[in-house]
């Protein structure tokens, strides 16, 4: 399935999507992280699910499907209103009791979008084009929900307004970007994406059944807890309700501690994606 074809599929579905436009969201995981999640899942699919996936997506790989929502972001901003906000839930990191009804009253957030499109993906009566769009959304959002800064916010666009430095770098980058891309590259340690994904599967193969359990809300709660306790909680100078003054230099211990978190989140995302595809296709 070519990119042009995919754009046409979206255009054909304009009348079937929400119409409330929200501000743009930041990407969760870079393309590398999403592809790694897809590669983990690919190793865990059975023959029946692979055949169903080919029947639905044609020649489009699961890796390509995983990044489609980001690649087409600007087009989707115009044609799938509200879609920029489907990548995250802005649950206040310092107020765990605030419910989704407060920060997602219009249904344009990751948790609500995921529920809608998962139902469409599993609906055998839906048209192929609608189910293909649902596949793109579901695959991408499973990756997104495992990035801690897409499950929590401190009135800073999920860490995008917090400038940080680490290692020998002299140029500050947003905290969100560091978790999206820099920490993924550090976790891979120079391995190819495929080799890294294979290592993640082997590391967790004996625990697949346990890690597959739960649903989007539970997985989101995991990420929220990590954002609260580690991503923000161990950030030098962080205090609830106070604006961060940057750039903030990340301690070596913070950077090193992020590596196993990123590895675990990517592995869990891929394992859960595979289980969901087996159940939905």
Q: How many helices, marked H, and strands, marked E, lie in the chain?
A: 14, 3
Render pLDDT for 120-164 as a digit per residue (tens, 0 to 9). Answer: 999 999 999 999 999 999 999 999 999 999 999 999 999 999 999
3-state secondary structure of 249: strand
Go through the domains of the chain in sequence order and give each one's CATH number. Answer: 1-281 (1.10.575.10)
| Inter-residue long-range contacts of 45-54, CB under 8 Å, 24+ positions, other chains counted | 45/274, 45/277, 45/278, 46/278, 48/278, 49/274, 49/277, 49/278, 49/281, 52/281, 53/277, 53/281
Is the Cα dihedral 190, 194, 200, 206 positive or negative? negative
Render pLDDT for 76-102 as a digit per residue (tens, 0 to 9). Answer: 999 998 999 999 999 999 998 888 888
Render pLDDT for 215-247 as a digit per residue (tens, 0 to 9). Answer: 999 999 999 999 999 999 999 999 999 999 879
């Amino acid at each position: 399935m070519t990119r042009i074809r995919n754009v046409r599929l979206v255009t054909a579905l304009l009348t079937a999507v929400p119409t409330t436009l929200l501000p743009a969201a930041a990407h969760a995981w870079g393309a590398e992280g999403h592809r790694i999640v897809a590669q983990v899942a690919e190793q865990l699919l059975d023959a029946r699910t692979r055949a169903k996936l080919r029947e639905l997506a044609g020649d489009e790989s699961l890796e390509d499907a995983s990044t489609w929502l980001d690649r087409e972001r600007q087009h989707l901003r115009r044609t799938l209103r509200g879609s920029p906000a489907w990548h995250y839930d802005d649950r206040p990191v310092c107020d765990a009791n605030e419910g989704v009804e407060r920060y997602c009253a219009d249904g344009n957030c990751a948790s609500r979008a995921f529920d809608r499109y998962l139902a469409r993906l599993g609906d055998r009566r839906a048209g192929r084009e609608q189910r293909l769009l649902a596949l793109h959304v579901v695959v991408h959002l499973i990756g997104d929900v495992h990035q801690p800064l897409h499950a929590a916010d401190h009135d800073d666009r999920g860490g995008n307004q917090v400038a940080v430095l680490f290692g020998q770098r002299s140029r500050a980058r947003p905290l969100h970007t560091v978790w999206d891309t820099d920490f993924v590259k550090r976790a891979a340690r120079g391995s190819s994406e495929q080799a890294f994904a294979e290592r993640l599967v082997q590391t967790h193969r004996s625990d697949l059944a346990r890690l597959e359990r739960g649903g989007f809300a539970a997985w989101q709660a995991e990420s929220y807890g990590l954002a609260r306790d580690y991503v923000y909680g161990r950030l030098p100078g962080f205090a609830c309700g106070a604006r961060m003054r940057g750039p903030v230099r990340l301690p070596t211990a913070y950077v090193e501690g992020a590596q196993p978190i990123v590895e675990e989140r990517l592995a869990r995302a891929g394992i859960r994606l595979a289980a969901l595809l087996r159940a939905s296709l």
